Amino acid sequence: MIGHSEEFEKMARLEGQLWWYRSLHKRVETTLRKQFGDRKTIKILDAGCGTGGMLEYLRKKGYTDLRGIDGSPDAIAVCRQRNLPVTSLNLNELAHFEPHNQYDAIICNDVFCYFTDTDLFPLVRALRQRLKPGGILVSNNNAFNAFEGQHDIAVGVIRRFVLSDFAKMMSGMGMRIIDSTYWSFALSIPILLMRQWQRLQLAIGWRKAEEAQSDVYLPTPWLNDTLYRITEIEQKLFRRTPFGSSLFIVVITDPVGR
């Protein structure tokens, strides 16, 4: 993703409007409220904050102690234009960065998919070290290989996850998954069909990998709104759904840190 300037430009333009981002931002904020009630002064870090849509959303919701980290100069430039408190840093260096700073909540959305196990384990350990006792890690991730499509190629994703990938990793690091869901269940079949169709087109040469486009584009307003409503209703009605192109997890530190 780092270096894909056009993707950061699209992200910056659309993350406040596109149904998928709106739904994710709301899901994160609902999680923070569930865990911390109305405390808006909790310390929050967005690790791999991109162009800052999540931070901006939380700022609008009244959260005051926000910090972002990203390794992309394009993303950091947008965050600074938005006057968001961000630091440019390769997350592989996180273990050595401000070791004294600890957070109540760390958000890490759609970042782990850029890390092989060799780098992911140290990253998760470094995030763990930055959490206060009882602090939470909130992380959205792309899920199930069956959903791989041209979006993955366009944004350079190298892997997709299932829940068991995280369950093992977290328990080995003194953390516990307290909530998880695949989403959007209601939209999973159309998304799956669309992605499989894209893969077929790539396989038979109707589409070229170099021309792959990400899913970050705005549909017509009525469709964008309808898709948002569907995910919103799903979120209200079901705490957990078993299938979808994303996996949302909430992880808490064990009382005695390791």
Ligand X SMILES: C[S@@+](CC[C@H](N)C(=O)[O-])C[C@H]1O[C@@H](n2cnc3c(N)ncnc32)[C@H](O)[C@@H]1O
Which residues are near ligand X by CB under 6 A?
1-2, 48-50, 53-54, 70-72, 75, 90-92, 109-111, 114, 155
Q: Which residue's CB is nearer to ligand X, number 36 or number 114? A: 114
Shortest separation between residue 101's beta carbon and ligand X, angstroms: 17
Three-class SS state of 86: strand
Q: Which residue's CB is nearer to ligand X, number 75 or number 105? A: 75
Contact 133, 255 (CB under 8 A): yes
Shortest separation between residue 71's beta carbon and ligand X, angstroms: 3
Of 48, 54, 78, nearest in space to 66 by CA:
54
Q: How many CB atoms lie within 10 A of CB 235?
A: 18
| Strand order across the 86-88 sheet | 86-88, 65-70, 43-47, 103-107, 131-142, 246-253, 175-183
Shortest separation between residue 114's beta carbon and ligand X, angstroms: 4
Shortest separation between residue 225's beta carbon and ligand X, angstroms: 20
User: Residue for token digits 């890690």?
Assistant: 137
Q: Which residue's CB is nearer to ligand X, number 48 or number 135? A: 48
Question: Can you tell me the distance from the alpha carbon of 44 to that of 61, in angstroms, rounded to the nearest whole number?
Answer: 13
Q: Which residue's CB is nearer to ligand X, number 1 or number 251? A: 1
Q: Which residue's CB is nearer to ligand X, number 119 or number 225? A: 119
Shortest separation between residue 122's beta carbon and ligand X, angstroms: 11
Q: Which residue's CB is nearer to ligand X, number 71 or number 174? A: 71
Shortest separation between residue 133's beta carbon and ligand X, angstroms: 25
Contact 37, 97 (CB under 8 A): no
Q: How many CB atoms lie within 10 A of CB 256?
A: 7
Three-class SS state of 52: coil
